[in-house]
DNA sequence: AACGTTGGCAACCGCCGAGAA
DNA sequence: CTTCTCGGCGGTTGCCAACGT
């Protein structure tokens, strides 16, 4: 793509034409590719004299054979003063995760919260992070963020991310808005929750049609810790066409039926409410609803299931691979710390967690104190103590195997598209499968692209307790795992 | 040492919205 | 009101170095 450039660079025809035109009437071939020091100097000099903006004039007046867009990009990402270079600090990483949970792929907005950082930088960081985590079979976000971030609810990562993007993106763009889907596999996913949990709260219809604009993720039976989520704010980058409407469609048009009799319940994989899988995360992990696991075209991540892996429940937990970089480990630590903190927070004030879009917005502008401030310190403290973390590390070998397995299994996932189709046919009413899925390639792209996606309307329950002390719950909560389990492992389903 | 994979980074592409003409 | 220009944004791709086998 970085080839010697056609007449007009620019993906943007307008800017391209204007930029390529050249003020001197001379049709200059715009240069592409890496910038040279000389070009940088010219650009810097120009900006110094004329200030930022009017980028197309740069090319016209400075002699640079670069289009305006390219100049702007170069300036913004590399030449602009006060740019912070180098690795992200721990705090920045935490903030990015937090912001992403709230904003989705709104890199520019995220960058606005990170002085000296560019959207491109953040985007690259995130993409890399996603890759790692996906490879490791981990959710993108610390579980508690699911509760913390309203926007979370429907952020579905194209999670796929990586590759997926290409195949899936067009779809996402047309069915939802682009870049609003950023969910990790264990992000909150309404579809993963048994319909009745929503029905309970809003008997009328789909939870997203909830006139109260809120719904509970979890039954109130858990010490009143049902997670109440509120609708996304448009401000938060969740266009009306986004998942919300999607769910309105997919769910409202599909009767929310009682959960199928599918259950995860074995000695090592007891998700019943009675089983104490993870003390600190009880409200989440002990949901009785976990019994419902509906296959979803969602990205099947590593699908090492208790049954198949033969490991004990304890070994089965999502764990950080030793092979993971420090980044991943950091994320895990962070996740744990956040989880601990939030756990206590939630116990104190559950109902206030989501005060709506406005709050989400304000948070964006200024990270919540309890997260930005306390968490930061808590994070370090907790991370230091890291008992669970050690456990994670100890079990990393398991995860490693999971990770290694994942590739293979993910490759095997493709053929499962057909399985999905048959499953859909088998349990048509049990799975609120969106029309687009049926119409399209049956989620092939999703599977291939490992995309979580609106398809989340299907149904695995997610409590995504990453690095939780509740191994079984954790893994069980990972849709990817669940998915893999359900699809790959008849032993479970 | 050679080869393949992965991570990190930089840049481009295409779309979109705002504002001016 | 429509069209055009510009700038911004998010997604994608290519390159290269580091790492692992």
Q: How far is CA A59 from the centre of its chain?
A: 39
Q: Which nucleotide across the nucleic acid strands is nearest to A163, CA versus C1'? A: C12
Which two tokens mark A100?
Answer: 């992403």
- Chain mean position to CA A354: 19
Asked whether the beta carbons of A293 and A459 are under 8 A apart, the reply is: yes
State pLDDT tens for residues A268-317.
333 333 333 333 233 233 232 223 232 333 333 333 333 333 333 333 33
Angle A172-A482-A238 from CA coordinates, rounded to 5°: 30
Q: How far is the CA of A241 from the C1' of C3 (A)?
A: 27
Stated in angstroms, how far is A239 CA from B13 C1'?
Answer: 23
Task: Give the pLDDT mean for A148-155.
Answer: 42
pLDDT tens for each residue of A191-224: 333 333 333 333 333 333 333 333 233 333 333 3
Distance CA A197, CA A454 (A): 19
Tokens representing A97? Answer: 């995760």
**pLDDT of residue A230 exceeding 80:** no
Q: Which nucleotide's C1' sits nearest to the alpha carbon of A328?
A: B7
Nucleotide nearest to A128 (CA to C1'): B7
Nucleotide nearest A73, CA–C1', reads B11
Q: On chain C, which bases lie within 7 A of the protein's CB atoms?
A: 4-15
- Interatomic separation, CA of residue A141 and C1' of nucleotide C15, rounded (Å): 30
Q: For the segment A337-372, what is each residue's pLDDT rounded down to a tens digit?
A: 545 544 544 444 333 333 333 333 333 333 333 333
Position A377 pLDDT exceeds 80: no
Determine whether the distance from the CB of A105 to the nearest atom of strand C is below 7 Å.
yes
Instruction: Identify, with chain letter, the residue nearest to nucleotide B9 (CA–C1').
Output: A124
Q: Strand B closer than 7 Å to the CB of A69?
A: yes
């Amino acid at each position: 793509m970085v080839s010697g450039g056609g007449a007009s660079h620019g993906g943007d025809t307008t800017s391209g034409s204007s930029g390529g035109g050249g003020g001197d009437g001379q049709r200059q071939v715009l240069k592409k590719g890496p910038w040279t020091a000389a070009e940088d100097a010219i650009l810097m000099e120009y900006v110094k004299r004329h200030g930022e903006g009017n980028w197309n004039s740069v090319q016209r007046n400075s002699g640079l054979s670069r289009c305006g867009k390219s100049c702007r990009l170069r300036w913004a990402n590399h030449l602009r003063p006060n740019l912070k270079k180098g690795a992200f600090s721990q705090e920045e990483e935490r903030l990015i995760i937090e912001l992403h949970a709230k904003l989705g792929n709104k890199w520019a907005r995220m960058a606005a919260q990170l002085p000296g950082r560019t959207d491109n930088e953040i985007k690259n960081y995130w993409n890399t992070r996603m890759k790692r985590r996906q490879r490791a079979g981990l959710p993108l976000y610390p579980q508690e963020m699911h509760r913390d971030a309203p926007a979370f609810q429907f952020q579905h990562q194209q999670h796929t991310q990586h590759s997926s993007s290409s195949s899936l993106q067009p779809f996402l763009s047309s069915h939802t808005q682009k870049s609003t889907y950023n969910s990790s596999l264990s992000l909150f996913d309404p579809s993963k929750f048994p319909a009745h949990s929503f029905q309970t709260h809003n008997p009328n219809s789909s939870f997203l049609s909830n006139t109260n604009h809120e719904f509970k993720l979890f039954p109130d039976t858990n010490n009143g810790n049902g997670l109440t989520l509120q609708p996304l704010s448009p401000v938060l980058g969740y266009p009306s066409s986004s998942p919300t409407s999607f769910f309105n469609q997919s769910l409202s048009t599909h009767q929310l039926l009682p959960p199928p009799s599918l259950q995860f319940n074995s000695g090592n994989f007891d998700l019943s409410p009675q089983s104490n899988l993870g003390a600190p995360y009880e409200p989440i992990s002990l949901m009785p609803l976990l019994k419902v696991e509906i296959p979803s075209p969602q990205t099947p991540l590593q699908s090492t299931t208790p049954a198949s892996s033969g490991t004990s429940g304890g070994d089965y937990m999502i764990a950080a691979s030793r092979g993971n970089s420090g980044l991943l480990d950091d994320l895990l630590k962070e996740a744990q710390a956040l989880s601990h903190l939030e756990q206590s927070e939630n116990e104190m004030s559950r109902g206030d967690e989501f005060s709506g879009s406005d709050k989400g917005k304000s948070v964006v502008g200024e990270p919540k104190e309890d997260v930005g401030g306390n968490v930061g310190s808590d994070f370090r403290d907790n991370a230091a103590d890291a008992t669970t973390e050690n456990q994670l590390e100890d079990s990393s070998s398991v995860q490693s195997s999971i990770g290694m397995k994942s590739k293979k299994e993910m490759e095997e996932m493709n053929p499962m598209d057909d399985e999905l189709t048959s499953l859909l046919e088998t349990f048509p009413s049990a799975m609120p499968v969106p029309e687009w899925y049926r119409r399209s390639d049956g989620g092939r792209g999703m599977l291939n692209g490992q995309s979580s996606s609106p398809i989340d309307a299907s149904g695995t329950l997610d409590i995504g307790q990453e690095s939780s002390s509740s191994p079984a719950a954790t893994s069980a909560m990972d849709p990817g795992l669940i998915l893999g389990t359900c699809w790959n492992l008849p032993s479970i389903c």
